[in-house]
Structure 1
Amino acid sequence: MGRTRVVLAALAALALALGAAGSAQAGVGLPGVVAQVPTSEKVVFITIDDGWNHDPEAARILLEKRVPVTLFLLPGAASYDTGYFTRLTEEGRASVENHTVSHPDLTTLDAVGKDAEVCGAGERIEEVFGRAPKLLRPPYGAVNDEVRLAAKACGVKALVTWTHDFTTWGETPPTPRLKAGDIVLLHFTPTLAADLERALGAARAAGLKPAALMPHLKAAGLA
């Protein structure tokens, strides 16, 4: 099965490289890349990446406030304390999606490498959480048509980047003014609880409520 995916992705990538589809058609039929969801609803989307730091305070906030959240997890980060994440999915409003196996820049890998990273992560997430992920967050937001081809071969319906990164990387960044449909990026770091509260506060200030991402992507025809 894996070999078939790789062969198909490699052939499609070759067709693109040779221009067989024509420049106007490049990318047609591939899963889209979404940084913001077009919607008339007053909603914002909270997403959290990686999974290495399992902060109980962040989990408490998500559970007690019933925050809809999409977790783009690395399988290795989830495996050493799986219960932390299964509690969020079973008792809260969290869904788990694909963030690759080892967080590489997918644009630098060949077809075999892309397949191993995307399909490999999807299979491991399905084993743990009982559901095959349909969304992919490409590490670093690095995407090209070959990445989209590989993602499609692995069952991905949309590649999700972000509108604003609320993660504290060394120092607290300025808080942006959120708009309807924005996708907020957070990470499972030691500052997640504070970063999450800051993002939720920004949503309240803008009159927005966190919402589940996948249903809105489907409603917008993006997944």
Structure 2
Amino acid sequence: MTAALVAGLLAGYGIALPVGAVAAYLVALTARTSLRIGAAAALGVATADGLYALVAVVGGSSLAPLLAPAAAPLRLVSALVLLALAAHGTYTAVRRHRRPQAAAGAVNTPPGPLRAYLGLVGITLLNPLTVIYFAALVLGTRTAEAPGVLEQAVFVLAAFTASASWQLLLAGGGALLGRALTGPRGRLGTALAAGALITAFAIDLLVRGGP
């Protein structure tokens, strides 16, 4: 039981701590909306990580070989989605900065908590290497005796909790950033920086095939 708990926490933090495109998007989303929406989005990321942990711990040794042929097309789709997010965020920020009054009605409509939650679930699920990461972790720590249902549940819940704690921390940082950068230029700079960072991660995903 304790081993499954520790393994799940390590797995959750191991996949959540590296700051990637999803983390950048989460911080930028919270900065331009609210902590409530950012927290919902953070739980969406953690939910996807928890689902991947569940698939990995149940799938076992057959998971990674089955996903290998689909890794390349899924990686391409993931990069395209990231590029679309970066382009949309940059366009929205520039339009709001140039035409604040006209953009106040149509552009400045933030997503609700449910939409933010579901959106981040989908974005995070597009990363196939997350599944392979969890599968490799389970294979590396599995003993001769297969883990029981209770141990599997503890592993998944621990991974979800670890990921959720870190994503909520990022959302809190985004909320503080949004309060600090209340001016039009500050919000424009934040949005442009986030768009550039997400674009860089998407290009790196295509070039190097990394997560």
Determine which structure has the larger helix proportion and give its number: 2
- TM-score band w.r.t. shorter chain: under 0.3
- Higher Cα Rg: structure 1 or 2? 2
Determine which structure has the larger strand proportion and give its number: 1
TM-score of the two chains, using structure 1 as the length reference: 0.27
